[in-house]
Amino acid sequence: MDKINREEKLRQELERLEWEFSLLYEISNAMRTTLKLDQVLYIILTALTSHEGLGFNRAMLFLVNEGEGVLEGIMGIGPHTAEEAGKIWHYISQSKMTLDDFIASYDIFKRDPESKLNQIVKGIKIPIREDMGILALTILEGMPFEITSAEAKRIVDPEIQRTLNTDFFVTVPLKAKDKVVGAILVDNIFNKKPITKSDVRMLTMFASHAGLAIENSRLYEETVYLSNTDWLTKLWNYGKFHQNLSGELERAKINSSNVSVIMIDVDNFKNYNDTLGHLKGDEALKKIAEIMKNSSRKYDIVARYGGEEFAIIMPNTSKQNARLFSERLRSEIEKSFADDAIAGLPCRLTVSCGIASYPEDAELKSDLISRADAALYTAKHAGKNATCLYTPDMENK
């Protein structure tokens, strides 16, 4: 009888291992379908919470921000209350959703304003110090923590416990090679299903795959970012400007809205460069770029168009409002180089700006740019350090 029991136990264990490896293979393949970080994170958390996956009630993901020395909440999937859990599980059982179905629903999740857990997680920022609780220790120690008893619960930061409305849970580090890049927290707060040693083992193996997927995605996104960025000013480059303008014009057509383009040229830059040298010239361009970035709205698109020429795309902005912004910007740049006159330099840096708007001045991207350029040409020839709006008579000049 003991022999039969042992054989049955061994058979069950083998079936469990086969399921684990099969699931890891399936999830790893899913993570390889995209290099976009937000989609990779969604796939990871979906695999942790779907019934075809590891089936935890909730999963939350945190990533290390090395610059600030903190652990930041990035994404959370799962219900925040028992009532919400009941609705979700009822919907899942009625819809018979598979793991692939969950992954395919990413766009719905991204637009879902009712995902309270996700909003809460994204508001969490934890200093990575030993006195900051379990999540910080998970990063510092690079090992999982099982908070599955009242005694273990004593070392949990009460604020995190209250914020996440959690009771017993497990955290695991996300590792890429020898580097800890983040942490995952999972719990079964609603169905109270115990988290077993097998669950923790599976979760740890899964986290190894997830950590590498996250690091690969970050490297890819960094490469894409660098390829679209001007090396000196860190603004978008010429190619990215054109790509962004095409996208904004498409949106403007759909929404029947305005897009204004400001072409900006640095006045007297050649003389400045020849007098003070290229290093000072580069510093001046970086300074002007920083002023442009700080003065613009978060959804404006600031680019270095080439040499000493810049461009700003202003969505949902009329030509008159773009002029008001441009004048403030021009004045700010003029003030920032005011000391050059005191230093006795033969010239002082200012900027000239030309503005054209869609659909008022042009409907095609090429026409919009050329008409903003025509306005800029007028500003330069009117004495520089000025803003000009495009008018049809400029075409004849």
Q: Which residues are catalytic?
A: 308
Which one, of 292, 245, 263, 259, lies nearest residue 374 by Cα? Answer: 263
Angle, helix 197-227 to helix 2-31, in steps of 10 degrees: 10
Q: How far apart are CA 195 and CA 197, in angstroms?
A: 7
Q: How far apart are CA 305 and CA 342, in angstroms?
A: 30
Cα 391–Cα 395–Cα 396 angle in degrees, nearest 5: 120
Tell whether omega for the bond before 127 is within 30 degrees of 0, i.e. cis.
Answer: no
